[in-house]
Amino acid sequence: MKHIALPLAALAASIALSGPASAAVIGTYEHDYGIGQYNPPGADQLGNDFVTIRENRPANSRFIDTFDFSELAGQAIESFTLILDYSGVGPTLINFGGTLFDLERWEVNILGSQNNSTLDDLVVGLSDANSPQSITFSAATDVGGVNAFATALANLEFSFIFDEVGFFNTDTFRLNSATLIVNGTTAVVPLPAPGLLLLAALGGLGLMRRRKARQAEALPAAA
C-alpha cells in the first residue's frame, strides 16, 4: 500500500486538467438591419427592421456586407454557418408556351478570392420557404474552383452579396438579418470524478499517518 496514494493523486489530477477536443461554437455575430440598427454598405434602402435588396444596380451601390471575426485569430475554425432571414425572394415561375421560366429567383454569393469573378464564390439559391435559411460552408465546400472558406480563413472575414437570376432582373426583396456562427475546436476540461478524488484523498491521509508513525518510532524513548 506504500505507493498507492501518489499514483491515485496523479491520476485524479490528470483527469481534472485534461480532456479530449470537441467541436463547439466559438463565435456568433449578428447584423440586424434597419433604421437605427445595422446599416450595411451600398445604397440599398433601409426600412424599420430590414434592408431592401435591389437588382440591376451599379456595382458600387449594390448591397454587400462583411463579417469580421479577426478576434478569433489563432483559433481552430472548422466551419461557418450563415443564417439569412428574408422575405420576397420567390422563386416565382411563369408559364410561357408550356415552358416554365424563372420570373424571380435570387441567390446569395459568399465571395471567394477573386474580386471581379464569381467562379470561386459559393453560390446558394434562396427560397421564401426556407427562411430563415442556414448555409454552412467549410473545407468540404471548397470544390470545383470555389475557395470561399479558404478565403475567409486567410482574411479572418468574408463578404456576401445577392444576385437575381430571374427573367427581368429588376426585382427586390427584404433582408431582415444575417447571423454568422463560427464553429471550431476547443479543449474540454471535465470535472474530476468524485470517486477518484475520494480515493486520492484517502490515500494521502494514509501516507501522512504512516509518516507520522515512522517519525514517532525514530524518537528516543523517554527516560
The pLDDT assigned to 121 comes to: 97
Query: Which CATH architecture describes the domain 20-186?
Result: Sandwich (2.60)
Q: Sketch the domain layout of the chain as residue ranges.
A: 20-186
The per-residue pLDDT for range 7-17, each reduced to its tens digit, is: 444 444 444 44
pLDDT tens figures, 79-96: 999 999 999 998 777 777
Q: Residue 121: CB partners within 8 Å, gap ≥ 6?
A: 109, 110, 111, 112, 146, 148
**Cell triple for 169:** 432582373
Evaluate if residue 65 carries a pLDDT over 80: yes
- Write the CA distances from 39 to 50, 142, 143, integer angstroms: 9, 30, 33
- 10 Å CB burial of residue 84 (0-12, 13-18, 19+) is buried
The rounded distance, in Å, linking the Cα atoms of 75 and 68 is 14
